[in-house]
Structure 1
């Protein structure tokens, strides 16, 4: 699928890997609808890239009414621009580590678990389901009668989760498992589904790590000997958009890194 003159809905698009994706797809001619909770950042990005091909909606991905309003407003924008929906990219995510039982023999609170699951899993499913009626009705493109693609963000934690990542690994493992199901469910509409599983990448989430944790992760890097960058992730997203044979798969983007059981 060509990027130019297609619309891309990206949640979590005002920072981190989502923002890198916004910039890359915009550079290649895409129209970008940015959904994010941080209005100041979102407004600044539209100012940076220009309002002709970017639009921002302040959105809480844990709230169905908030997501519905953003999707409806994006659909109205698409009607104005006549640039059909090409991809749904739910990139909003959080880490918030914590073991299920702490050193005082106290179980983790459900509020802490729900915080991660509601953003990383519920928010992803909610955004996809609300966007799909707008994608299934677009005019398919030759030669494969493709209508669009869903690109989700999993994690290396879906394969080798570390201590304290119960909620995070569960949410990202669910995204990994969801990928083939979506590909099969949506094949009849000419819609693909893929997910990307980055490992240690420079992002707002990893910026909160302690120096000790950072050094420990850097020791297990194979090649390249550096954390991934937003541009690396965005390039993979672009490949997923453009290569119609990428479907139903969770793609590890980790430079052969395997996360250790202990830091």
Structure 2
């Protein structure tokens, strides 16, 4: 896919990995539409990207009506949708049994699943409906590309991550069957499983804590940079033969139990 003059939808696009992705895509000549719950950050991000290149909607990815409205606003703004990057997610610690012997509230488990897994599916299903209507943009009758975001926790879940690991494993698990289904429409589906990245949440940690986390990475001995994630998004979008895959982007880290 040639990204110039294409339109991308990025969930969680007002900060961290999503924001870096929005910047990288605009630099490639694409237009971006951001879904985020933080309207202030979304407005600032769009301002930095340029009003002609970007727009936003306040969207709860786990809410069907909210996503439907957001998709309508994206289509009204740019008319087409070619790329989706599902960055929105949460990662609160949640042991099955806490230190006081209390079980994890079922509502907390469900919320993590609802945002990370159900929210990802909610967005991609409605985005794909619009992509399927596109005119083919290459000789392979390509119409779109969906990039979901999982985590190394899908494979190396730590203590305190049963809900998070399950949600991200679900994202990995649905990648191939959806890629197979969407082949008839010329829509590719891939997933990135990031390791430890220097996002705003990580940046708030003491430098000693960041250094300790970095030691678990094989090479390079540091946290990933958001622009490195964004670079992989661009590569996946541009490479029309990359489909149905989950790619770990983690410096070869394998997470310990805790």
Query: Same fold per TM (> 0.5)?
Result: yes
Deviates more, 1:204-213 or 1:192-201: 204-213
- Structure 1 residue 103: Cα displacement: 2.1
The alignment of Structure 1 onto Structure 2 pairs a total of residues equal to 258
Contact kept, 8 Å, 2:90 with 2:116, in 1: the verdict is: yes
Instruction: Supply the distance in 1 between the matched residues of 2:174 and 2:207 (Cα, whole angstroms).
Output: 34
Q: Retained in 2: the 8 A contact 1:95–1:205?
A: no
Q: CA deviation at 1:61?
A: 1.4
Q: Is 1:141 aligned with 2:105?
A: no
Aligned residue in 2 for 1:129: 125
Per-residue CA deviation, residues 86-128 of structure 1 (Å, 9 max, x unaligned), is 1111110110011111122210012221221111111111111
Uncovered stretches (5+) of structure 1, i.e. residues with no partner: none
Gap runs ≥5 in structure 2: none
- Corresponding position of 2:219: 223
Q: Does the residue aligned with 2:82 lie in a helix, a strand or coil? A: strand
Normalising to structure 2: TM-score of the pair?
0.96
What corresponds to 1:78 in structure 2? 78
Give the match's secondary structure for 1:33: strand
Aligned equivalent of 2:17: 17
Residues 121-142 of structure 1: CA deviation (Å, up to 9, x unaligned): 1111111111111100100122
Report the counterpart of residue 195 of structure 2 in structure 1. 199
Who is 2:168 aligned against?
Answer: 172
Q: Tell me the residue number matched to 1:64.
A: 64
CA distance in 2, matches of 1:211, 1:95: 21
Q: 1:136 to 1:239 in 2, by over 3 A?
A: same
Moved more, 252-261 or 199-208: 199-208
What does residue range 184-263 of structure 1 map to in structure 2 within 5 Å?
A: 184-207=180-203, 214-262=210-258
Corresponding position of 2:50: 50
Aligned-partner Cα distance in 2 for 1:210–1:163:
22
Spell out, residue by residue over 1:170-203, the C-alpha distance to the aligned partner (whole angstroms, 9 max, x if none): 0111111111011101001111000001101011
Contact kept, 8 Å, 2:215 with 2:222, in 1: the verdict is: no
Q: Distance in 2 between matches of 1:55 and 1:172?
A: 28
TM score, norm. by length of structure 1: 0.94
**Aligned partner of 2:100 among 96, 104, 111:** 104
Q: Is the 8 A contact 1:217 1:259 kept in 2?
A: no
Q: Distance in 1 between matches of 2:220 and 2:2?
A: 30
The answer to whether structure 1 residue 91 and structure 2 residue 76 are counterparts is no
Distance in 2 between residues matched to 1:220 and 1:39, nearest whole Å = 35
